[in-house]
Amino acid sequence: MAKLHIKKGDNVMVIAGNDKGSTGRVLDVIADKSKAIVEGVNMVSKHTKPNADYPNGGIVKKEAGIHLSNLKVIDGAGNPTRIGRKRDENSGKSVRYSKKSGEVIK
């Protein structure tokens, strides 16, 4: 399986769909479904039975997955950008970098 361009903790912008233009932090990446859960994006209403967390049950708003193709990583300057990979000249490890600005993304 190929490496994904988005990791947990990245700041991303939604480029397509109902939440187009919104930004958020990636909470989780579901690699086998090619989806990511982004904080505050793609909110759905989930009906829950009473449990320890919600003693009365009811309707809970939570984030649903959004396809990775609809997300772009935001670089340090705050611009949405494509991601490339290159070898770090010091450590020799593969690092992600912004195609727009050329800076390395942590």
Cα dihedral sign for 5, 8, 14, 16? Answer: positive
Please name each of the domains of the chain with its CATH number.
11-77 (2.30.30.30)
Per-residue confidence in pLDDT tens, the chain, 106 aa: 678 999 999 999 999 999 999 999 999 999 999 999 999 999 999 999 999 988 999 999 999 999 999 999 999 889 999 999 999 888 889 999 999 988 898 8
Q: Global pTM?
A: 0.84
Q: Phi and psi at residue 74, in whole multiples of 5°?
A: -100, 125
